[in-house]
Chains A and B, each alone.
Chain A
Amino acid sequence: GAVVSQHPSRVICKSGTSVKIECRSLDFQATTMFWYRQFPKKSLMLMATSNEGSKATYEQGVEKDKFLINHASLTLSTLTVTSAHPEDSSFYICSADPVTSRGTEAFFGQGTRLTVV
């Protein structure tokens, strides 16, 4: 099956620093990738939709200047948490739609656990 690789799987950073999370589709092209945030024992909350070659679309309440998304190629989207604070600590998950799927399926990365100290 299709594979989405998310890196790093865990990261600890100091408050005030920035962290970049990568989401790569390894064996397919994805025009659209999605970034989710998941709190412990909670559901996935969509943060933003990342489209290759254009600006990301952010959900209401998500600060676009804090969570920078870049989708520079059909296989890579990045999420940068800028000036991270402890409240940004969470589990971040990306997903990608194969170009050919037309919405019938999406593949998820393994997630990134961010801890801000």
Chain B
Amino acid sequence: AQTVTQSQPEMSVQEAETVTLSCTYDTSESDYYLFWYKQPPSRQMILVIRQEAYKQQNATENRFSVNFQKAAKSFSLKISDSQLGDAAMYFCAYRARTGNQFYFGTGTSLTVIP
């Protein structure tokens, strides 16, 4: 079965600084998607960024970028110029292209210090 591991239960960052959240996964599939979701206190899951495994180029969305290392099965999220509104729980997720199910990591709680 696929597993997603987030080894950092909690992280903190100073406002305007950069932080990197780690994620590793295990799969025997060659074609899949990886996601980072943000869950603020409202509990609404919000898509931050998505990476397609067959694309070598790392995905970028404004201040958010990923470092996708397919061979190492690593998918880290970098948040630049951190803002107070970035404070939330962040979940890494995996989804096989041929499957339906999301596999979520255990989450990283990010605190932004003013």
Residues of chain A touching chain B, judged by Cβ–Cβ distance below 8 Å, are 32, 34, 38, 41-44, 46, 49, 91, 93, 95, 97, 103-106, 108, 110-111, 113
Contact = CB atoms under 8 A, between A and B. Distances in A.
Interface of B: 33, 37, 42-47, 50, 52, 89, 91, 95, 97, 99-102, 104-107, 109
Contacts of B100: 32, 34, 49, 97, 103
B102 A34 contact: yes
Contacts of A106: 102
Contacts of B89: 41
Contact of A108 (B44, B97, B105, B106): B44
Contacts, number: 50
Contacts of A104: 33, 50, 52
A103 B45 contact: no
A44 B91 contact: yes
A46 B91 contact: no
A65 to B, nearest CB: 22
Contacts of B106: 42-43
Given A32-B100, A34-B101, A43-B106, A103 B43 contact: no
Nearest to B95: A103
A32 B107 CA distance: 25
Nearest to A45: B104
B59 to A, nearest CB: 12
A40 to B, nearest CB: 11
Contacts of B46: 108
A84 B97 CA distance: 36
B91 A43 contact: yes
Top 4 closest A-B pairs, CB basis?
A: A108-B45, A111-B43, A43-B104, A110-B44
Contacts of A97: 100
